Amino acid sequence: MAKNIAVLGNGYVGLLAAVGLADFGNTCIGVDVNQQKIDSLNKGISPIYEPGVEEYLRRNLASGRLRFTTNAAEAIRMSQVLFITVGTPQMDNGDADLSFLKQVVETIAQNLNEYKVVVTKSTVPVGTNRWILETLTNAGFTAGIDFDVVSNPEFLREGRATQDFFHPDRTVIGCESPRAQAIMEDVYRALNLISVPFIWCDLETAELIKYASNAFLATKISFINEMANLAEAVGADIHQVAKAMGMDGRINPKFLHPGPGYGGSCFPKDTAALVHLGNKHRVPMRVVQSAIEANIKQKERMLDKLKLLVSWALHTDVDHIGSNPLEGKTIAVLGLAFKQETDDIRESPALDIVQGLLLSGAKVRAHDPKAMTNFSKIFPQVTYCTTAYDAVEEADVVMLLTEWNEYRSLDLDRIGRSVSHKIILDTRNILDPDDVLEKGFLYDGVGRGLIGKQVRMTHSPIHA
């Protein structure tokens, strides 16, 4: 049976939950404090770029199963199932900031008028749902209102979130009440019909599954990046290494793609929160901490690689004291989002790399199909260009930072005629090295050892 659902918080996760649950046949009210966002959503305009989301948004608005409001109290009283989907950003100490969540829980406590299932979809530290249960128990005891608390973490991949919501690998539900379990089965009946695996567990287990999953994936990225750095040093090809590793069923090829480091809304803050949780319980997360440190170093390494390329092209010694090969240069940066198919720049490697370029005295001309508006709020001094080819005009060097498909088939002849120095640093390895080198570029990727080979071929004193 379809349920009346309130989705409290309509950011990335909340919007996907609202349109998805409505498409499952439930009646959903999306709640957010931002009136401008609510007005746009009710007009069928998504505040985020995510392939497919606006189609589902408009379809379910038209069906009458979905609407948006700023009136949280009314939405809570009208709904049987309450999804908490507010942000839990990282604090300075690495822990998750639960201030938004606590405000929502307080509002729920003030509006308990009948039995409700409170579902936490926000990523929260282990123990948070137990705290919600205790807080609402204290509030509901006086009013004599019954309720249940459920942990239902999300596993959406930005750029593929719509597909992930409707066809997830698994659905994790921390639930300790048969009544709540029956209701959650109704809420997700559409997923049961397509045989999606359900993991039923307690609250703490569900919370830890989310953190453990993200930490493991982040660790895989940091691991393959460190292997890529070693491959450069010894003259190996990291793509062949990763391909062979991925053929081992125990390892799997996913997340074995070298690059400038991981970013986004989940991996950085979730790994930091897990390390903080481990320290709190005196169980150091040494592997995860190392993954975090390796990720920071990887972004720094991209700047070092660019300096090496420019130094070699200009026949200067990058190791010379006081040498700054990037000073006065114009760098065309292609890609600002932390990954393709999203406008999300949160913790994007481009943030640190562009900052490093500017601090080195370089000028930056940038292009990204979707993320330039968000990026310009942080770096207004960057020149933003309507196309990749506009970005390379008047530039000295090209740096690829995001693996957008349109960058895979760049017109290298056109770029070669535009840039002052035919230099490309491809931090995502999306270009064919043979094609780029054939066009006369000085080119390097990540983990391919290309610059080292080019330098050794000419007997240069500069080494990679």
Q: Return the active site residues.
A: 266
Q: Which residue in 48, 131, 135, 138 sits closest to 96, CA to CA?
A: 131
- What is the edge-to-edge ordering of all strands in the sheet holding 423-426? 383-384, 363-367, 330-334, 397-400, 423-426, 442-444
Q: Which residue in 30, 148, 149 sits closest to 85, CA to CA?
A: 30
Please give the span between the terminal C-alpha atoms of the chain, in angstroms, as a whole number. 63
Structure tokens at 114: 């009948």
φ, ψ for residue 397 (rounded to 5)?
A: -140, 150
Nearest-angstrom CA–CA distance, 158 and 347: 13
Amino acid at 147: F
Tell me if 340 sits within 8 A of 402, measured CB to CB: yes
Run of H or E residues at 308: helix 286-313
Determine the 3-state secondary structure of 380 from DSSP: coil
H-type helices in 144-236, by residue range? 161-166, 178-187, 189-193, 203-234
**What is the separation of C-alpha 371 from the centre of its chain, rounded to a whole number of angstroms?**
13
